Structure 1
Amino acid sequence: MEWRSLFFLTIIALFGFTTGFPQSILPYPHPQFACKPPYNSYQFCNITLSVAARAQSLISHLTLPEKIHLLIDNATGVPRLGIPPYKWWSESLHGINDNGPGVTFNGIIPSATSFPQVIVTGASFNRSLWYEIAAAIGVEARAFFNVGQAGLTFWAPNINIFRDPRWGRGQETTGEDPLVAAAYAVEFVRGFQGEDRLAGGGSGDGFGRRRELAENSGNGGLMLSACCKHYSAYDVDKWGIHNRYNFDAVVTEQDMEDTYQPPFKSCIQQGKASCVMCSYNSINGVPACAREDLLRRTREEWGFNGYITSDCEAVSAIYEHHNFTTTREDAVAITLKAGMDIECGNYTALYGLSAIQQGKLEEGDIDRALFNLFSVQIRLGIFNGDPANGLFRNFGPQDVCTSEHKALALEAARQGTVLLKNENKFLPLKRNGISSLALIGPMANNHTMGGDYTGIPCSPSTVFDAFQSYSKKISYAIGCLDGVPCKTRAGFAEALSVAREADTVILVAGLDTTQEYEEVDRYHIRLPGFQKDLIEAVAAVSKRPLVLVLTGAGSVDVSFAKNNPRIASIVWIGYPGEIGGKALAEIIFGDYNPGGRLPVTWYPSSFTNLLMTDMNMRPDLSRGYPGRTYRFYIGETIYEFGDGLSYTTFTYTLLSAPNKLSLLGTTTDVYVGDERNYAYVDELRYCDTLVFNVQISVTNNGGMDGSNVVLLFSRVPNFFKGAPRKQLIGFDRVHTTTCKAAETNFVVNPCEHLSFADEYGRRILLLGNHTLMVGDIEHIVSIEV
């Protein structure tokens, strides 16, 4: 955004000139709030007291039945204390949406900015972009609250690992790498909750009126509450006889430690999330929401300061699907005693009192849960009286669907687009070199480009719409009359006719939410129906090789297209959001240089011979199991994690990195096992003294400016049982200009980045030669005693 616009919007935000009127007389309804007169004399309304004192005061005024009915997502409120009902469940995965009952579009705000689905923004590998998107969604979320169309507690982000390409909700994640998922968790929570702005920090500059956050820290300083989900090892929704309500994820301690848990640890410790959601599935025989060891760990080891919610109906699933308890009261009691604070569902309201009467639950367990819930609500200002007189009061309809937010959505779609094939530099196309353009395929003129958890977009458009300004003569054919499922060849004839007449053909195919969605997992990773036949038929008759554009999150076996010379280019756009078509057009015609990288491995169809329910990350040759994700998988691939092309070329130069590190003085013991020496990370006393920098120069060798995603990997010395083949230890998106170099620096902590978990779940650091890898460069760092 131009600096003048940013300055003007900042002044508007600080002085409240956007409306000209106090919030109390604005022409839209207020949100519900507590502590309005005559109820504002209670101690829990006194903003000069600590959050803890106020929470304890509120608990002391409640009867047992009132307490129990405050432990569900649709809390009934306490009218005698002036406490209104509250809906805890609002959603904001990649924009405000009404998947949860806390959000409605039936009001003064009819829509919200639809950013690309998370898997697409993950492909940008850009921390500052993630932060800015979260901050923009946060502004819109607060605006929705201010007009009574949302709550303040939003259940995002999804930071699970996209372990298997068949998972329907993989689109909601940043992909298969735990380091990337952890980094995204931190940026999203910081940007969305607003605490960084209050403290004067943050990863980016933000947009205009967000500057209001610097006015006053309030009592607790939360603008909104973000929730890291789904804790933990959740990535099966419906596959065969298994569904998310009954699935038992059998996970080794090794995989829990270095794959499934790291994103949640970072979300809590670095992101300071105020909510964690426990998942539907069991883990090694115990439902996640009943795993006291996991839930308590968030507070006792990771310092969690917030509330823990169940996923919706997860408590009832403990009794009805997992058959883990013999009574419904036991299901309620076991989750609250384990550390869950609120249930999304009604079991607690229905059976909580009888659980106490039967001696299975104590009132102290309920008070503990309420303390955590009220503490977050107090930090959010719900008990500070009329929000029109407090922080963030100026956010309203004028802050939703702004030109700045739409521009950010466009930029996110640009940065997340991945160019996978570009034979003979077929792309970018030249406008004056094309007499006619044909857009073909079931996703070429489809408005549902956002994936799941999409609200009502501000101004949705299709790919076909976006290309109108790029060609004077443009034609369209759907190819598959029934859309993405493409169950018949009806429509092929029209598509072939259109293809024959056009100078250039762009075919848009792939997946949509009929194929992958919450509660819908795939059984194969081929293109749906007859899509492959359509692509090959069109490629055979088109005048020139065609451009294939792929939508969807999970990988598809496109080896046929990769190897077909009649298909010149392959572009993956995922679910690019409401302005994604424009981003694609800009890339295809060279107005923007693509730089996204695949956040997941693309496997051949034979991968689906593996049981989706096998949670093991490591390969097991004794049973022909190849492992999962780029870190462990030893089989064939179509495209690798991190693949992605540009219209220019880049070279890397390693400017600085150490050759040797010594553990001398940092540990008392070095252990011998599996033919290698190693130290336990938790026994290394001075990890900070081992931290080093890796400085890299990126040179743009071509004729076009562009961004390059620098991925720094490491590989452990020789072979060690259970060690990753390689693992990502740092990433950065670096913008470069033609024939010039830019530099980036990675801070490497060997205890964190060069270690991995042994079979007992303890992190070990091997002695010997660790290999750092970036592009074609390899550099040895020797760790010695």
Structure 2
Amino acid sequence: MKSSQLRTPALALALAWATCVAAAPLTPSMQQAQALVAQMTLAEKASQLQHESPAIPRLGIPAYNWWSEGLHGVARADIATVFPQAIGLAATWDTPLVKRVGEVVGTEFRAKFLATVGADGSSTLYRGLTVWSPNVNIFRDPRWGRGQETYGEDPYLTSRMGVAYIQGLQGPDANQPRVSAAVKHFAVHSGPEADRHREDVKVAPRDLVDTYLPAFHAAVTEGRAESVMCAYNAVDGVPACANEPLLKHTLRDEWKFQGHVVSDCGAVADIHMDGAHHYVKTPEAAVAAAVHAGTDLICDFGSNKTAQGATTVAAVQQGLLSEAELDRALHRLFDVRLRLGLLAAPAQRPFPQITARDFDTPAHRALNLETARRSLVLLKNDGLLPLKAAPRRIAVIGPNADSVDALVGNYNGTPSRPVTLLAGLKARFPEARIDVVEGTGWVAPPLEDLPAANLCADAACSRPGLQFERFANLKLEGEPSTSAVTPQAVFRWGWPDAHDRQESARWTGFLRASESGEHLLRLRGNRGYRIWIDGELVVDLWDIAWPTSTRGVKLKAGQTYALRVEALQTGWDGEQRLQWSRPGASDEAALAAAREADVVVFASGLTWELEGEEMTVLAPGFAGGDRTRIDLPAPQLRLLERLAALGQPLVLVNFSGSPMAFGAATQQAAAIVQAWYPGGEGGQAVAELLAGDFSPSARLPLTFYRSVEQLPPFKDYGMQGRTYRWFKGDAEFPFGHGLGYARFDYADAKLARSRLRAGEGVKLSVRLKNDSSREAAEVVQVYARRSSAQAPERSLVAFRRVVLRPGESRRLDFELSAEALSTVRADGRRVVEAGPAWLWVGGGQPVAAVTGTKAPGRMLKLEVAGRTDLPAFAPAAKNQEAGE
């Protein structure tokens, strides 16, 4: 950015002074940042350390909220392109595609910023250009609720996906990044959610180097991520946001990271708070410890003293924190704000070609559909798919049959035209009769519209309906703009258009139960709402960033209960409808529909209301947003088994952000599709897969175990016994597994040489042929195995997604570095040892799924002479993940 873009003459003069006295060459933006900070008072400096940074009008500095989320699209900022959840992006094994997704997300962030930026340049929550994504933590245990945000369990795959997404988000020019990406959560962070504010993770040196840090290293050194977010947990006794070994020695000194570090939200408060780490005694000491270690920006909540600028001022005045350390943090923060154009006049902001309308465009939705297609994993197929002829009658059963929540996952935006599974099937098979019967809820009996006959405007139930109030704000404040009695809580925000009106609503009245037992309530179609029964909060999903509870309530037949429902609009979500699950609900309607169908599609799984970040889900098998079991919830399994017993052609389409164990259905279903949370176009992509419009090519980025009994304890961060690299049991579906509608043959596999010295790389080639009559993509995977007792079972070292025409063959070359043949010793040293090494190249691992399916491929053996040490982190292959 040129100095002419500065907002004030005083800043330009200060820049000239800073340039003269600078002791070392600095980039122009860093010179400007230092000049700007030099003019600030201590109080002004302290205010800029917070994620809600206030304006400093005398210096021409606008207010800026650093908090924006972009895990798989612009999140929490109204309508946006909602791509498949991150775990679904990983399932594509397609880094060029993921980079394109990042480019679209970065563009939409620019558009959202332009649409809402103030006249003075100020921006608000979720509408800035500092994006707190991606999440490259390792999905080490399938019980973790936030694993859906990651790229899976493998450090190599995760690193390649993370680098691609960062490069897409930020663009190629570090002097003018499209947005700033923050890679998170540094480090060794992956649940349990309930313990994250106080957990002290003891991690072995081998696991730190071999598993937990490689993706962060790649994100910083290859992806050039502008920011790193430090985690809530402690590592080896020191809170992550005050951890000098991690933040200073590893990140800054060894990896030469030049960007800024932002704390996870409330993590600095955790450094001192009782019930958390209590590592220091005061909030002033917590701020000092964080900044001293290298944390530059504090994301916090107003209820915490660490969120107050006065605390930072006091830390300096008490001698706990030097003003020079505070300046260092602010230099980094203003450097990136300047390069993003956040302090520039409107006409001088970068990326003038991007407009406020460049979001949710037809081109973006087309890329989203293609991404959804490439994310769907065909786990099993007994020949039912693709459907040989258009079915006359389809039964769509299960809780995710027509669920928008099943499309989007967490940390998401609002799709403008969401295509559920039901909608996708109707569009793809317009001549078919499609019967939809949920048959079961996610963790309880099926949800049904709460009958108007059970709703009363008064306690005596002499008047039917509910009192409805609508407010022209998000806080239910002031006089309602609408007040009326309605028969049920049925409503559409902003209808008939999709305008975001920033409204809220309240329904009050009474509910009369028709049967005794536990009931679940929900406001279908809305993402921010809460429900009270007799003054007790039973559903609290008011803040979609921090959902807190969903639990059942026991009702007694004939008894009347006070009911209050409140909802807010932060985006247009279509129709809202109050529903409940009755304990006596029957699945006979679902079974009847299945008996008459040519094919049964069972839409199973979870949603963001059941797995996610620090939640309270009071249902069997769930805890704190995590899971205690990995089976399909019991009500779904029961119905699935009854459907399988009918003998009808059965396709299981599972929506979840984490691995599931399907029990007997693994053998009973003719086909199983893992759909993840496939984004706004997901239902269309699934329908096209069933119809055979494309051959699925996605592969699992993690292991699907048979049960949690195969796993070590959740809180054990040691890698032995978990993930495909260290798991010695039989998986239900292994990492890298995925089927398609084409056959591929691997032949003429060769090594450039079969003997090499330790420290040398090796070239591998193989001829791949599409042995079928249709065009299709194959994900070619290369795994290495060493015979050392310290080596994993095998490790992914290269991959490539390749598209071949019918009958086409192509020779593929992989250039593997020395690291591909290395192991990490117990003390954390990476070495290449003498002895045999095996390289497998194929369409998956050389192991079979529980269904008996095994990937084609070829095994090669070579001999390594000598021994040598390697740097802890280095790329394993060159150009290995290039797409078609």
Q: What TM-score comes out, normalization by structure 2 length?
A: 0.74
In structure 1, distance between residues paired with 2:666 and 2:793: 25
* Structure 1 counterpart of 2:314, from 330, 350, 354: 354
* Aligned counterparts of 2:411 and 2:641: Cα–Cα separation in 1: 33
- The equivalent residue for 2:804 is 736
Give the stretch that moved more between structures: 412-421 or 646-655.
646-655
* Cα 1:489–1:534 shift into 2, 3 Å: farther
Note the alpha carbon deviations across 1:65-117, whole angstroms, 9 max, x for none: 1101100100112111111111111111100012xxxxx43xxxxx1100000
Matches within 5 A, 1:40-439: 41-44=12-15, 50-98=28-76, 104-105=77-78, 111-148=79-116, 150-195=127-172, 198=173, 220-238=175-193, 242-296=194-248, 297-320=250-273, 321-345=276-300, 347=306, 349-383=309-343, 385-423=344-382, 425-432=383-390, 434-439=391-396
* Match of residue 453 from structure 1: 411
For residues 369-405 of structure 1, the C-alpha deviation after alignment (integer angstroms, 9 at most, x for no partner) is 111111111221223x313333212312432111111
1:166 Cα deviation from its structure 2 partner:
0.6
Q: Helix, strand or coil for the counterpart of 2:133?
A: coil
- Residue of structure 1 equivalent to 2:537: none
- 2:176 is aligned with what amino acid? G
Which structure 2 residue ranges, 5 or more long, are not aligned? 20-26, 118-126, 447-582, 615-624, 843-856, 867-884
CA contact (8 A) 1:451 1:513 kept: yes
The aligned counterpart of 2:768 is 698
Q: Using the alignment, how far apart are the partners of 2:141 and 2:702 within structure 1?
A: 9
Higher mean C-alpha deviation, range 579-588 or range 148-157: 148-157
| Match in the other structure for 1:532 | 637
| Deviation digits for residues 432-465 of structure 1 (CA, Å, limit 9, x no counterpart) | 4x22111111101111111001111121121100
SS at match of 2:426: helix
Q: What SS class does the counterpart of residue 399 from structure 1 fall into?
A: coil
Query: In structure 2, how many angstroms separate the alpha carbons of the residues matched to 1:342 and 1:122?
Result: 29
Query: What residue in structure 2 maps to residue 746 of structure 1?
Result: 814
Q: Which amino acid aligns with 1:502?
A: A
Displacement of 1:364: 1.1
The 1-side partners of 2:742 and 2:145 are apart by 34
Aligned pairs, number: 677
Inter-CA distance 38–636: structure 2 relative to 1 (3 Å threshold): same
Query: Relative to structure 1, is the Cα distance of residues 661 and 71 closer, same or farther in structure 2, using a 3 angstrom cutoff?
Result: farther
Deviation at 1:489, TM superposition (A): 7.2
**Change beyond 3 A, Cα 1:249–1:370:** same
* Secondary structure of the corresponding residue to residue 379 of structure 2: strand
* Equivalent in the alignment of 1:673: none
Task: Find out whether 1:635 has 2:729 as its counterpart.
Answer: yes
Residue 50 of structure 1 and its aligned partner are, at CA, apart by 1.6
2:712 alignment counterpart? 610
Residues 649-679 of structure 1, C-alpha deviation per residue, up to 9 Å, x if partnerless?
Answer: 111124542334543xxxxxxxxxxxxxxx7
Matches of 1:309 and 1:535, distance apart in 2: 45
1:565-580 aligned at under 5 Å gives the runs 567-580=669-682
User: What is the distance in 2 between the residues matched to 1:508 and 1:291?
Assistant: 45
Counterpart Cα distance in 1 of 2:143 and 2:712: 11
Shift of 1:558: 1.3
Within 5 Å, give how 1:709-724 maps onto structure 2. 709-716=779-786, 718=787, 720-724=788-792
**CA separation of 1:585 and 1:39: change in aligned 2, threshold 3 A:** farther
- C-alpha separation in 2, matches of 1:481 and 1:183: 39
Verify the 8 A CA contact 1:231 1:277 in the aligned structure 2: yes
- Which shows bigger deviation, 373-382 or 342-351? 342-351
Cα deviations by residue, 1:669-711 (Å, 9 ceiling, x for unpaired): xxxxxxxxxx7xxxxxxx5xx2332222211112221100111
Letter in 2 for 1:285: G
Are the equivalent residues in 2 in contact too, given 1:39–1:82 (CA < 8 A)? no
* SS of the residue 2:368 aligns to: helix
- CA 1:47–1:446 in 2, change beyond 3 Å: closer, same or farther? farther
Partner in structure 1 of residue 486 of structure 2: none
Please say if 1:495 is aligned against 2:590: yes
| Secondary structure of residue in 1 paired with 2:211 | helix
Determine the C-alpha separation between the residues in 1 that align with 2:356 and 2:285: 46
| Alpha-carbon distance between aligned partners in 2 of 1:75 and 1:641, rounded to the nearest angstrom | 44
Higher share of residues assigned strand: 2
- Does the CA-based 8 Å contact 1:705-1:737 persist in structure 2? yes
Distance 2:186 2:594 in 1: 48
Q: Does 1:759 align with 2:826?
A: yes
Q: Secondary structure in 1 aligned to 2:270? A: helix
The counterpart of 1:510, out of the listed 582, 602, 605, is 605
Deviations 1:447-491 (A, max 9, x none): 111100111112112110011131423333343454455485724
- Please give the root-mean-square deviation of Cα atoms over the aligned residues, in Å: 2.1
Say if 1:350 and 1:496 are closer, same or farther in 2 by CA, change over 3 A: farther
Q: 1:772 aligns with which of 839, 852, 873?
A: 839
Q: Distance in 2 between matches of 1:45 and 1:226?
A: 30
Contact residue 96 and residue 455 of structure 1 kept, 8 A? yes
Task: Please tell me whether the aligned partners of residues 107 and 178 of structure 2 are also in contact (alpha carbons under 8 angstroms).
Answer: no
Q: Which moved more, 1:293-302 or 1:576-585?
A: 293-302
- Give, in whole Å, the separation in 2 of the partners of 1:363 and 1:691: 49
SS at match of 2:228: strand
Given residue 419 of structure 2, which amino acid in structure 1 is its aligned partner? S
- Given residue 130 of structure 1, which amino acid in structure 2 is its aligned partner? V
> What TM-score comes out, normalization by structure 1 length?
0.83
Does structure 1 retain, via aligned residues, the 8 Å contact 2:822–2:832? Answer: yes
8 Å contact 2:437–2:593 — kept in the other structure?
Answer: no
Residue of structure 1 equivalent to 2:579: none
Is residue 525–residue 608 contact of structure 1 (8 Å, CA) maintained in 2?
A: no
Quote how far apart the aligned CAs of 1:773 are: 0.4
2:662 equivalent to 1:558: yes
For the Cα contact (< 8 Å) 1:45–1:54, is it kept in 2? no
Single out whichever of 390-399 and 452-461 deviates more from structure 2: 390-399
| Distance in 2, Cα, partners of 1:44 & 1:38 | 10
Letter in 1 for 2:865: E
Q: Of 651, 657, 660, which aligns to 2:751?
A: 657
Give unmatched runs, 5+ long, in structure 1: 1-32, 99-103, 106-110, 199-216, 619-626, 664-678, 680-686
Give % identity. 37
Letter paired with 1:777:
R
Residues of 1 paired with 2:683 and 2:612: CA distance?
Answer: 21
Measure the CA separation in 1 of the matches of 2:143 and 2:17: 51
Distance 1:649 1:329, change over 3 A: same
Residue 39 of structure 1: CA displacement? 6.2
Match of 2:617 in 1: none
8 A contact 1:169–1:516 mirrored in 2: yes
Distance in 2, matches of 1:481 and 1:549, equals 15
Q: For residue 151 of structure 1, what is the amino acid of its counterpart?
A: G
Alignment match, 1:17: none
Higher alpha-carbon deviation: 55-64 or 255-264: 55-64
